[in-house]
Amino acid sequence: MQAVDLTERRLVVAANRGPVSFHDDPSGEPVVTRGPGGLVTVLTEVLRHHPGAWVAAALSDAERRLAAEERAVEVALDGEVYRVRYVAPSRAAYHKYYNVVSNPMLWFIQHYLWDLGRHPDIRAEEMDAWHNGYVPVNGLFAKAVIDEVRGGRDGRRRRDQACDGSDALVLLHDYQLYLVAPEVRAACPGTFLHQFVHIPWPQSDYWRVLPEHIRESVFRGLLGNDVVAFHTRHYVRNFLRCCEYLLELEVDQASCTVRCDGREVWVRAYPVSIDPASLRAAADSRRARTAERALRSRRREFLLLRVDRMDLSKNIIRGFAALDRFLELHPEFKERLTFLALLQPSRQDVEEYVTYRERVERIVADVNTRHGTVDWMPIDLRIQDDFPVTLAAYAQYDVLFVNAISDGMNLVAKEGPVLNRHDGVLVLSEYAGAYEELGAFAIGVNPFNIEGQAEALFRALTMSPEERADRAGMLSRVVEENSVEKWVQAQFADIAAKLAAGC
Ligand code: F6P
């Protein structure tokens, strides 16, 4: 087998969010900040490994103006230079694509969040959102990717020239872009297409929620890639079974491959991770150190911490119910602990998220009223997006609480142990992707079992210092030894192997 040099390939990355966000300040001047979310951080790592263009949706007026240029623009931020190409769907189409189909429809299916006796109702609005939102927005992404695949290496355009893409590598990311690959393949059949799904892949029966033609499009769309990637082996198995049961395709469970339209698609697991060195550097910033001093001066004997986007999949309400139960069972811990909940606001244009936030605020008020005293409240709820405070809290926690109903990976479970200085205990949902790597050194919990989560809190808070130190040491070691760099390298190695194998 001949080795393949991927550095020769032009790289095009596509994800709903870009590496940076442009906003107009009050004087109308564009301001650039880092794009939000863990996916942006890890894709930045990919581009550090192999420079290329990043196709993303224009979310602000400033980005819409850049989209009008119909080319990748260079943006510098924090010493890095990105080439970003924005696509600008109409606001109505973007709403249908993002707020109706991607979230909640696909997100809820993939995280098992639909309460099937009651939801979802697939009516004209949802069908319209698919046909006039998800499909055309994916089409716009595909068009931009094709254009970048055809763009000259030296920046000159060769759009009108025939180009089969055999010098290009396209990395598609996530559930917003399931329909992009087949269009790119049809236009540039030589392109190597790779799609990473950052969220869980549920069992086949749950996909039956979607009307058959939509489900087929999702699967056929993903199978338009050469490699389909997930965070865990469990999601790989689910995907392979779906291909067998729902599409009746030829699947080889041993080699994790699917035969589709005469091609062999590789289905692989690469557990995403973090970059411990840059996380430590961020924690050493002035703002993070100031935040840590503030936290330390106010902390009680024990600090319990959760850090999440305000998302139903994170199981925030059952977490507070578990604390409530724990304090009922163990009143001796009253006034000795604080449960700090750092929750970033999310998707507030989607009704389910608005209602969820209200329910979270209500249970916090209830638990605080039930157990609080004149100068102590058990829960310190902060709905904010303040990374320095998060870094400070990572250093200080005694218990890091991650009880997700379902979670692609959960990077909080990896960030916390790297920065923590208290031999903190990780309470980790068995249904978070991170459980495959970290479960042995965490206290595992079933996310639905509130009683079990209350017991886990007790076990964590009464664990011997020796056991805490052993477990904390192992957690940070596993993360240090499996950094995001390995994640990138493993994917590039498989891409090179598949190209070399010529299958
Ligand atoms: O992969 C999950 C993801 O798309 C990540 O980008 C991030 O964790 C989260 O969901 C962000 O969601 P949104 O872009 O909708 O805010």
Check if 439 has its Cβ closer than 6 Å to any atom of ligand 1: no
> How much distance in Å is there from the Cα of 36 to the middle of ligand 1?
8
Domains identified in the chain, total number: 2
* CATH number, domain with residue 478: 3.40.50.2000
Residue ranges making up the domain that contains 352? 276-482
Answer yes or no: are the C-beta atoms of 141 and 18 closer than 8 Å. Answer: no
Asked whether residue 253 falls in the same domain as residue 286, the answer is no
Whether 53 maps to a domain, the answer reads yes
Half-sphere exposure of 496 (CA within 13 A, CB side): 14
Check if 57 has its Cβ closer than 6 Å to any atom of ligand 1: no
The closest-lying atom of ligand 1 relative to the alpha carbon of residue 102 is 15
Crossing angle (nearest 10°) for helices 387-396 and 276-283:
100
> How is 93-122 classified by DSSP, letter by letter?
HHHIIIIIIIIIIIHHHHTT---TTT----
Asked whether residue 21 falls in the same domain as residue 131, the answer is yes
Give the closest residue to 409 by CA, choosing from 141, 174, 245. 174
Answer yes or no: are the C-beta atoms of 133 and 100 closer than 8 Å. Answer: yes
Give the closest residue to 265 by CA, choosing from 228, 221, 218. 228
Asked whether residue 168 falls in the same domain as residue 56, the answer is yes
Whether 1 maps to a domain, the answer reads no
- Nearest residue by C-alpha to atom 9 in ligand 1: 37
* pTM given for the model: 0.96
The closest-lying atom of ligand 1 relative to the alpha carbon of residue 174 is 1
Whether 212 maps to a domain, the answer reads yes
How many CB atoms within 10 Å of residue 79? 5
Answer yes or no: are the C-beta atoms of 326 and 458 closer than 8 Å. Answer: yes
Asked whether residue 489 falls in the same domain as residue 429, the answer is no
Whether 5 maps to a domain, the answer reads no
Asked whether residue 197 falls in the same domain as residue 306, the answer is no
Residues 6+ apart with CB under 8 A from 261: 223
- Nearest residue by C-alpha to atom 5 in ligand 1: 39
- Nearest residue by C-alpha to atom 1 in ligand 1: 198
Check if 17 has its Cβ closer than 6 Å to any atom of ligand 1: yes
Give the closest residue to 378 by CA, choosing from 339, 425, 344. 339
The residue to mutate among 100, 111, 309, 412, having the most atoms of ligand 1 within 8 angstroms of its beta carbon, is: 309
Whether 4 maps to a domain, the answer reads no
Whether 164 maps to a domain, the answer reads yes
Tokens of 301: 């004997």
Asked whether residue 195 falls in the same domain as residue 301, the answer is no
Tokens of 468: 């805490």
Asked whether residue 210 falls in the same domain as residue 285, the answer is no
Whether 6 maps to a domain, the answer reads no
Asked whether residue 314 falls in the same domain as residue 266, the answer is no
Check if 38 has its Cβ closer than 6 Å to any atom of ligand 1: yes
Asked whether residue 315 falls in the same domain as residue 245, the answer is no
Check if 346 has its Cβ closer than 6 Å to any atom of ligand 1: yes
- Tens of pLDDT along the chain (503 residues) come to 556 788 889 999 999 999 988 888 888 777 888 888 888 889 988 898 899 999 999 999 999 999 999 999 998 888 889 999 999 999 999 999 999 999 999 999 999 999 999 999 999 999 999 999 999 999 999 999 999 999 844 445 555 456 888 999 999 999 999 999 999 999 999 999 999 999 999 999 999 999 999 999 999 999 999 999 999 999 999 999 999 999 999 999 999 999 999 999 999 999 999 999 999 999 999 999 999 999 999 999 999 999 999 999 999 999 999 999 999 999 999 999 999 999 999 999 999 999 999 999 999 999 999 999 999 999 999 999 999 999 999 999 999 999 999 999 999 999 999 999 999 999 999 999 999 999 999 999 999 999 999 999 999 999 999 999 999 999 999 999 999 999 999 999 999 999 999 88
Answer yes or no: are the C-beta atoms of 274 and 254 closer than 8 Å. Answer: no
Check if 199 has its Cβ closer than 6 Å to any atom of ligand 1: yes
Asked whether residue 315 falls in the same domain as residue 227, the answer is no
Asked whether residue 50 falls in the same domain as residue 141, the answer is yes
Asked whether residue 427 falls in the same domain as residue 414, the answer is yes
- Nearest residue by C-alpha to atom 15 in ligand 1: 347
